[in-house]
Structure formats: structure tokens, C-alpha cells
Amino acid sequence: MATSSSGIQQLYESVIADLVPYYMDSVLLPNPSIILNSVNIAGASGNTVRFPLTNSYTPAASGIAEGDPISTASDFAPTSANITVSKRGVGTNVYEEAFEDSSLALVQNAVLTRLASGLSLATDVAGFAEANASFTLSDTGEGSANATTHSVSFVMSPEALAFATKREPTVKMWFDPNTDTHQIRATVRNGFTTLRGNFGNRITANKTVGSATANITAVAKAVAQLRAENAPTMAGGQYVGVISPALEYAIQEQIALAGGTTIGSLSDVGNRALLNGIIGQAAGAMLFRHTALPNA
């Protein structure tokens, strides 16, 4: 089809209208079932948001004699966790010949997929990096620090992390006559922080499929450690497990299709990344697969 200004305008309008839905369909972590604490600060001043926290407290005193004073178990001294948002961006160039030799719908879908997947992957990677740096419970996997061969999976409470967004996916597009290309750039500004380091577990395992020695036992131990911390669970009583393909294989090799037929309710969540990534529930965790977990 011949390129026309109306065709370019149609592409731009479609990308503007559909990028946010495509992005929300592709991103995993900014999801109310996985991260309960999130805030949108678009339009507000500054690039930092503060989440207030309270200290832990001891049980109330028992066996108080008549007339004795009631001592203070502990004071609720508020502390805080801060998120400073960062910009993430992805771009693609569409050559004029692509419009001349292909359909607008084909170009449109390719552009939307490239932009949405790039922004969503960058967002998830940032969240996993925060978890890897800040979770404090003992690693229940192989414990290797070899970044070449090992990656880190996670089992966590939905209240372990917090998320903030300052800019929803935004698109800019212009034409470069020197290269005869329509240049498209998409950005988003968001960030993560750890609210409670003791509400998250790391599971280090070999990232080569068939080589991981960590398995369902590592997940079960991580869940037990979270329960010992009284970490809140998802609505169905499970914790969130985000595991690598290699760890997924090791679990299914150990226990055939472990949890593969017991999928919990996700009625409050509908994005494709969550539904495509879900493996099942086992050992007290709802397990999701992700291919971009951090190296050990």
C-alpha cells in the first residue's frame, strides 16, 4: 500500500491509544496480586514517593495483678521506605518501505509489540533487581554466587515490595528524511522499593535447564521461613513464587506436574503475562515463570 499522511497519522493514533493496554497486558510485577502497595504520582511534584511503615511490636502483657500498671508493649514509631522513579525507554524505526510493501495493521501490531514488551521487560527487570538486592531471608537454593551459571528466583509476600509510577507509557514519533524512516520512541517512569526485607526469599539455582539442583524443597523451605515471619499472603493463602524455567523443570521433574493442575483464583487479575506465566500452586506458593530473572 502506498504511504499516505493519513496512514502515518493512523499508526500514531493507534500506538497512542493501545500502548498502555498492551503494556499492562505484558508486565508482571506491577500487579495487585503480586504487589499490594502501589501508587500513581503522575501530576504530582517530585520523583520520589514515601511509604510509611510501623515497627514490629511485642505481644500484650498477661497476668497483670490488680492495681499494677499496664506497661507499653512497644511504641509504633513510624519509619519509611522511599521509591525514586527511573525512566525506561525503548524505540523502533519504521522504514518508509515497510508502509509501501506491507499493511498498516501488520506494521501497527509489530510496533505495539516491540514497544510494550520492551517497557514491560525493563520494568520487571528493575523490580527483580530490587528484590535480589534487598530480600534478607536466607537463600533456600544452591547458594551459588556464580553469575554465569546461576540465576535467582523468588518466593515473597505480596507486601514485600512497593511500586510507584510517575509516567504511564508515552510515545513520541517523528520522520527522519535523511534515512527515510519514521522513528518511534516510548518511555515510562516507575520504580520499586522493598518494604520488608524479611518478607522475601531468594532461591539461587543453576539456570541451565536440567542442571538445577534446587527444587520444590527450596520453595517449601522459603514458604516456611515467610510463615515464621508472619508475612502476609495472597488472598488464597499462598505466597508469590517467581521462578526460572530451569527451576520450573526441576520441580516438575521431582514431582510430576507439581501444582500444574491446581490453579488458584485470579479473578482480580487478568493480564496475559500473569496468566501465561502461572504454573500452579505447590508447597504454599503460587508459582509464576519468568525468563528475565537476575543472575546470582
- 112 against 62, higher pLDDT: 112
Mean pLDDT of 72-82: 71
Residue closest to 85 by CA, chosen among 120, 54, 39, 52: 39
pLDDT average, residue stretch 249-273 = 62
Residue 275 has pLDDT above 90, yes or no: no
What local confidence, expressed as pLDDT, does residue 209 receive?
Answer: 87
Query: Distance between CA 276 and CA 28 in Å, rounded?
Result: 10
Q: Is the Cα torsion angle 118, 122, 123, 127 positive or negative in sign?
A: positive
Q: Look at residue 259 in the predicted model and tell me its pLDDT.
A: 45
Q: What is the pLDDT of residues 194-244, one digit of tens each?
A: 999 999 999 999 888 888 788 888 999 999 999 999 999 988 889 999 999
162 three-class SS:
strand
Element (H, E) at 127: helix 104-134
Give, rounded to a whole angstrom, the gap between the first and last alpha carbons of the chain.
Answer: 49
- Report the SS3 class of residue 182: strand
Q: Is the pLDDT assigned to residue 174 strictly greater than 50?
A: yes
Percent of the chain scoring above 70 in pLDDT = 86
- Identify whether the C-beta of residue 12 lies closer than 8 Å to the C-beta of residue 173: yes
For residues 122-133, give the mean pLDDT: 96
Per-residue pLDDT at 1: 36
Specify the DSSP element, H or E, that contains 168.
strand 161-176
pLDDT at 195: 94
Q: Cβ distance 191 to 30 under 8 Å?
A: no
Q: Give the pLDDT of residue 268.
A: 53
Per the DSSP assignment, residues forming a β-bridge with 82 are 50
Q: Decide: residue 51, CB within 10 A, 0-12 exposed, 13-18 middle, 19+ buried.
A: middle
Q: Which residues contact 270 (CB under 8 A, 6 or more apart)?
A: none
Q: What stretch of H or E contains 98?
A: helix 96-101
Quickly count: other Cβ atoms within 10 Å of residue 274's Cβ: 19
Instruction: Point out the least confidently predicted range of 159-168, 264-273, 280-289.
Output: 264-273
Residue 162 cell numbers, joined: 512497593
> Average pLDDT of 136-143?
91
* Stated length of the chain: 296
Residue 62 phi/psi, 5° resolution? Answer: -125, 160
Q: Where are the domains of the chain?
A: 5-51+81-289
- Rounded to the nearest integer, the mean pLDDT of the chain is 84
249-260 pLDDT, tens digit per residue, is: 888 877 754 444
CB contact at 8 A, 197 and 122: no
Helix (H), strand (E) counts: the chain? 6, 11
Determine the 3-state secondary structure of 43 from DSSP: coil
pLDDT higher than 90, residue 176:
no
pLDDT at residue number 139: 92
Strand pairing partners for 50?
82
Q: Which amino acid is at 29?
A: L
**Band of pLDDT at residue 80, cut at 50, 70 and 90:** confident
> What is residue 267's predicted lDDT score, i.e. its pLDDT?
52
Q: State the pLDDT confidence band at 71, using cuts at 50, 70 and 90.
A: low
Query: Are the C-beta atoms of 212 and 247 separated by less than 8 Å?
Result: yes
pLDDT at residue 219 in the model? 92
